[in-house]
Amino acid sequence: MPEVRNCRRCKKIFMFVTGPQLCDACKKLEEEEFERVRSFLKEFPGATIQEVARETEVPTQQIYKYLKEGRLEVAENSPIALQCENCGVRVKSGRFCINCSKKLANEMMNAGRSLKDSLDKEYRNEEDERRGLRYMHGIRKDEYK
């Protein structure tokens, strides 16, 4: 069921179905930005994050986000430094180094049941939040009438 949401980027109201909370125009823009960053890094693997941001006109924050999400990888000798959130070692992509990823995966397996419980709880909170948002939209619509 599509529902009415505000675009995360331009705040316009659009019909949200699935995926990132972005309207079609912004979704396309973000795709283009990602493509610009990716091809720039391919051509200039030695560029600093400031140079990439300047040349692609994509904010550094956004570039770090790509890296943390694992969508983007920097070259071995790239000055763009990303650190493992657990031990601080240099990583090329993602949030953790290989050692910590393995360790965390093991810990998660051991946590087993309790993790599932907390995930269920998180999901329920999200549902509540969505219901609250819909309520707010309702009010706003009434005001425009």
Identify which range of 2-10, 36-44, 66-74, 118-126 contacts Zn ion by CB under 5 A. Answer: 2-10
Q: Is 115 helix (H, G, I), strand (E, B) or coil?
A: helix
Site for Zn ion in 20-39 (CB under 5 A): 23, 26
Return d(Cα 21, Cα 8) in angstroms, integer: 6
CB of 29 to Zn ion, least distance (A): 8
Tokens 């941001």 belong to residue: 53
Judged by CB under 5 A, which of 3, 4, 10, 71 binds Zn ion? 10
Is the C-alpha dihedral spanning 80, 83, 89, 95 positive or negative?
negative
Site for Zn ion in 41-100 (CB under 5 A): 84, 86-87, 89, 97, 100
Residue 41 or 91: the one with the smaller Cβ distance to Zn ion is 91
Return d(Cα 42, Cα 100) in angstroms, integer: 27
Cα within 13 Å of Cα(96), Cβ side: 9
Tokens of 139: 């009010």
Contacts with Zn ion, 94-133, as mask; x by CB under 5 A: ---x--x---------------------------------
Judged by CB under 5 A, which of 6, 9, 62, 65 binds Zn ion? 9
CB 11: neighbour CB atoms within 10 A?
Answer: 9
Residues that bind Zn ion (CB under 5 A): 7, 9-10, 23, 26, 84, 86-87, 89, 97, 100
